[in-house]
Amino acid sequence: MKVMVLKEKNTPFVMEERPDPKAGPGEAVARVLACGSGLTIHHARAGRAEVDYPVIIGHEVLGEIVEIGQGVAGLSIGDPVTMHCYLTCGHCRWCRTDREALCENLAGFAGRNSDGGYAEYIKMPARNYVPIPEGLDYKAHPAETAVICDAIVTPDKVTRRARIAPLETVAVFGAGGGVGIHMVMLAKWAHARVIAIDTVGAKLGKCRDLGAEAVVDASKENVAEALAEFTGGRGLDVAVDFVGIPATLETAVGALGKGGRLVTLSGNTPDPFSVSAGRLLWGELEILGSRSFTKQEIRDSLELVARGELWPFVTETYKLEEAEKVHERLEAGLITGRAAIVMD
C-alpha cells in the first residue's frame, strides 16, 4: 500500500510503498477513503506533540472494512466506519463507565503511537471502529464524513458538558480554528447566542456566516468590553476556550456571569491561570476540562449529521501525495474550517 510516513519531527512526509496491514486477533483492517487534516495532527507533523517515529499520522478516518481478525464480533466486510483514535484498554473503570478518554491504561493514540490514516489501509483494534449510519451518504461526501469523528464530536461533547441551553450566551475563544468554527455551529444549533473571538479577522467572517451573532477581533478590539456589551453587562453563560494561555483563560473566566461555565479544550501550555475562590463561590462558577469524547458520542454526532441537523465545514481536499502541501497551509494558519485527504 501507499503511505505517507513521518520519519522524524518537523521533516517532510515521505511517500513509501509498504505491505498491506494484516488483522491480528481482535483487530480489523479498513481501506481508507478519507482522512481529516487538522491542527491536532499537524502538531505531530510539526514536532509539537509526542510521537513514536516513524509514524503514519491521521486520526479522522473514514474507511470500509476489508479484513477482520479472530474473535471480532459486530463488524462485517464492506462496513463503512469511522474511528475513535484513543488506544484504550476497554476494561478499566473509565472504559467501563463510558469515559474512555480517561482510560487508566491508555496506550496512546492512533496516528501518533500507532499508524493512522495517511495510508491506503489502516489497522485498528476492532472496538475502535464506529459504524457510519445508513442515512449518511459517505461515498458522496467522504471528507465531510471523515472529520465528524473529531471536528463535530468535540464541540458536540462541549455542548453537553457545559449544558448549553437555548438563548444562553456562549463565547468561543479561538473560534477561527478547525474545531472552534464547528463549536460556533454546534452552539448555534443548540439555540444559544454565540460570540466568536479570534485574532484572524478573515476567519471571523466565516464564523458569522456559520451562526455567530457577533464577532471580536482580539488583535484589534478589547475582548472584555466586547463581551460585556454582548451580554448587556450580565456576563456570559458559557466560555469555550481553544487557546489555553493564561491571559485568554483569565479573560474568559472574568467575563462569566452568575452560574457561568468555562470549558477548556487546550492542554498546550503548562502555565496556570488564576481566578479567586470568591468569584467561584459568589457566582457559582464552574471550570471544566473537556477531553476528547467517547465512541457513543461519535455515534451521536454521526447521527446528527445523518439527520441533517448540521454539516461539517470542509473547505479544502487533497490527494494523499499532497499531504505536505496541506500541512504547509495548516502551519501558516491559512485553512478555514477543516481540510482533508481524499483517496483516489
Note the residues at the interface with Zn ion (CB under 5 A): 88-89, 92, 95, 103
Mention every residue, 6+ apart, whose C-beta is less than 8 A from residue 31: 63, 64, 66, 120, 121
Q: Which is nearer to Zn ion, 127 or 327 (CB)?
A: 127
Cβ closer to Zn ion: 8 or 98? 98
According to DSSP, residue 305 is labeled H
**In the bound complex, what is the minimum distance in angstroms from residue 304's beta carbon to Zn ion?**
26
Sign, Cα dihedral of 250, 256, 259, 261: negative
Cα(32)–Cα(340) distance, integer angstroms: 12
Q: Are 258 and 235 in contact (CB under 8 A)?
A: yes
Which CB, 85 or 305, lies closer to Zn ion?
85
Q: Considering the complex, what minimum distance in angstroms separates the CB of residue 105 from Zn ion?
A: 5
Beta strand segments in 254-323, E: 256-264, 286-289, 314-318
- Least separation in angstroms between residue 83's CB and Zn ion is 17
Please state the closest distance from residue 296 (CB atom) to Zn ion, in A: 15
Nearer to Zn ion, 57 or 95 (CB): 95
Cell of 236: 456570559
Rg of the chain, C-alpha, whole Å: 20
299 φ, ψ to 5°? -55, -45
CB 42 within 8 A of CB 32: no
What DSSP designation does 36 have? E
| Smallest separation, CB 221 to Zn ion (Å) | 44
Nearer to Zn ion, 88 or 114 (CB): 88
Least distance from Zn ion to the Cβ atom of residue 96, Å? 8
Q: Can you tell me the distance from the alpha carbon of 68 to that of 57, in angstroms, rounded to the nearest whole number?
A: 22
Cβ proximity to Zn ion, 15 vs 101, nearer residue: 101
In the complex, least distance from residue 106 CB atom to Zn ion, rounded to whole angstroms: 7
Q: In the complex with Zn ion, which residue's Cβ is closer, 106 or 275?
A: 106
Answer whether 185's CB lies under 8 Å from 155's CB.
yes
